[in-house]
Amino acid sequence: MRTRISLLLLAGAATLGGCMAKEEPASTGSATAAPGGTVTVADAQGATVATATLHQTTDGVRLVVEATAVPPGTHGIHIHTVGQCAAPGFTTAGGHWNPTGRTHGMESPGGMHQGDLPNIVIAADGTGRLDTVIKGATLTGSPDALLDADGAALVIHADPDDYRTDPAGNSGARIACGVIQAG
């Protein structure tokens, strides 16, 4: 019995020692982290109304928008082709990001722009959240990458996107904009 207990204790110590030897130092994430981006979205007066993060995933680009001071209601929100946000109209952001050359809208028979996103719903207190994946999109490393030489912008519109009318879903004026920054 004593030999059996000694063997069990020895086996347990060897297993514990093996686990400890395999422990790896915590990663800082700098070498292996998926590419990402951040956005500070401001209104025409320059006040921050939302922030967003973008991360490369195996399915595409995950976008998470946290609105803090957007007018209540449902708003179209899109990624635009140029990383510029000159107020008041934010037209410097260009059109929707559309590397696939499709028509606008999730309900369009011809497909949709990669810059087309689900509407964001804003509560009475100005807050709202959008968490979506842009299927097949890439942030960097391809000819059609979002973060190309002239950058890209995230734009919030005054009205809801109808998901079908080309080129912008009848989503109205551009009320807020933010340049997508790598990192």
Q: Which of 43, 75, 157, 161 is catalytic?
A: 157
Q: Does residue 104 carry a catalytic annotation?
A: yes
Q: Which of 59, 104, 148, 161 is catalytic?
A: 104
- Residue 165, token pair as written in the block: 């009318």
Q: Does residue 75 carry a catalytic annotation?
A: no
Report d(CA 60, CA 83) in Å as an integer.
20
Asked whether 49 and 69 are in contact (CB, 8 A), the reply is: yes
Q: Does residue 113 carry a catalytic annotation?
A: yes
Q: Which of 43, 75, 80, 161 is catalytic?
A: 80
Q: Does residue 96 carry a catalytic annotation?
A: yes
Q: Which of 43, 75, 161, 174 is catalytic?
A: 174
Q: Which of 43, 75, 116, 161 is catalytic?
A: 116
Q: Does residue 55 carry a catalytic annotation?
A: no
Sheet strands (E) in the chain:
36-43, 48-56, 60-67, 73-75, 77-80, 120-122, 128-135, 153-157, 174-179, 181-182
Q: Which of 43, 75, 113, 161 is catalytic?
A: 113
Active site residues: 78, 80, 96, 104, 113, 116, 157, 174
